[in-house]
Amino acid sequence: MINLYSAHINSLSIHHVGNKSHNEPIFLSSEPYKADDELTPLLKEYFLKPFREKEENYFQFFHDTDLEFHELFNLASEIFDNPESTHEVGRKITKHLYDQSLHPHIKSGEVYIVHFDHLQIDNEKVEGIGIFKSEIKQDFLQFSKKENQFDAHHLQGVNLNKLDKGCLIFNVKKEEGYKILSVDSNRYDTKYWLESFLGVDALEDENFQTKKYLKFCQDFAKDVVLPAEDKKEEVMFMNRAVNHFAKNDAFEESLFIDEVIDNPDLKTEFNHYKSEQAPKYKIEDLTSFPIANTAVSAARKKMKNVINLDTNIQIKMDFINPESAERFVEKGWDEEKQMYYYLVYFNKEHKD
């Protein structure tokens, strides 16, 4: 879990990078930027708001040989070892970003290098480094009074409600490549930001493991449970799976299978499906791990609890009381109409 509300900006530097392949220039500021009391909270919200609104999918710096050869890892370590060097090291970070700006679609923009303290991660206050880039300029009008009328001026600037690219490097787990969060609003050049510039790989922590295993379960439900049973059983399987994760602090695969899958044939299919598909989800050797509640909550929000019928009727399942669907909804086949049906039992209708 992260909490960014108490974060404090210690140092801020603003530079500009063009597209190197277009021979556009790079501009490196000579001094850190001194933001006033009015601008500082606006910039802090601009930088950090996107990270509060997205899932906590962590990355870590990665190098095929050793982290000591990873340029951005070394530059981040310089800042953490000596925060007073943030501006000078930030100039090197900006130059590194410029050197990766080689694809013709990469846009020029301002680069912000920030040193934070009082970032909270896993209930611990830590320092962090923010690297942000604004690319898309938006039109706006500025009005001024002139004698007895207003003048309108067409200007362009950065929309403070949308950060184009950014990352937060937390000063934790240095030996593993730090814990890193990234946002990227422009998907056409994700490889340039994540791979070429940041050089990161997914951090396979409990959040990653929980998320990947639940995604595996979701695909098993769609690929195996639905064809073998029906839509109701697909929905109910995922409900049982998520409820199992929600009520346990740690995952044990054998316990999960016994509790979530009633049909012995489906248990066999589950093991077979995992043996074939596990590498796709990076869970081939994963049979036990701590459960991340945030990943479970995110999965629950994405779950579909509606059965859509080709007769333009929808049946919505109640995940708060899942036993109702088990006890009071039955599926059958009508020989006369040559159609499937759902039989729903109830005592009275609720009048909302």
Model confidence pLDDT, tens digit, residues 236-287: 888 889 989 999 999 999 999 999 998 888 999 999 999 998 888 888 888 9
- 222: helix, coil or strand? helix
pLDDT for residue 352 is more than 80: no
What average pLDDT is seen over the chain? Answer: 90
Contact call for residues 289 and 209 (beta carbons, < 8 A): yes
Q: Could you give the CA distance from residue 133 to residue 113 in angstroms, rounded to a whole number?
A: 9
pTM, rounded to two decimals: 0.78
**Which residues touch 213 (CB under 8 Å, ≥6 apart)?**
251, 281, 283, 286, 289
Listed ranges 71-75, 160-164, 204-208, 309-313; the one with the highest mean pLDDT: 71-75
The pLDDT of residue 189: 67
Report whether 76 contacts 97 (CB < 8 A): no
Whether residue 20 is predicted with pLDDT greater than 80 in this model: the reply is yes
Residue 336 lies in a domain: yes
Least reliable range by pLDDT among 14-18, 54-58, 82-86: 54-58
Whether residue 47 is predicted with pLDDT greater than 80 in this model: the reply is yes
**Domain boundary at 179, 203, 227, which?**
203
Res. 217: pLDDT tops 80: yes
Structural domain includes residue 351: no
Q: Who has greater pLDDT, 246 or 53?
A: 246
Residue ending a domain, choose from 182, 203, 224: 203
Range(s) of the domain holding residue 213: 207-344
Per-residue confidence (pLDDT) for residue 129, from 0 to 100: 98
pLDDT, residue 22, reads 93
Work out how many domains the chain is built from and give that number: 2
Same-domain pairing of 122 and 256: no
Note whether 11 and 110 are same-domain residues: yes
For residue 3, is pLDDT > 80? yes
Quick one: 218 and 101 in the same domain? no
Average pLDDT over residues 3-12: 94
Out of 2-6, 40-44, 311-315, which region has the weakest mean confidence (pLDDT)? Answer: 311-315
Q: Are residues 234 and 338 in the same domain?
A: yes
Taking each helix axis as running N to C, give the angle between helix 253-260 and helix 231-247, from 0 to 180 degrees, rounded to the nearest 10: 140
Over residues 292-317, mean pLDDT: 83
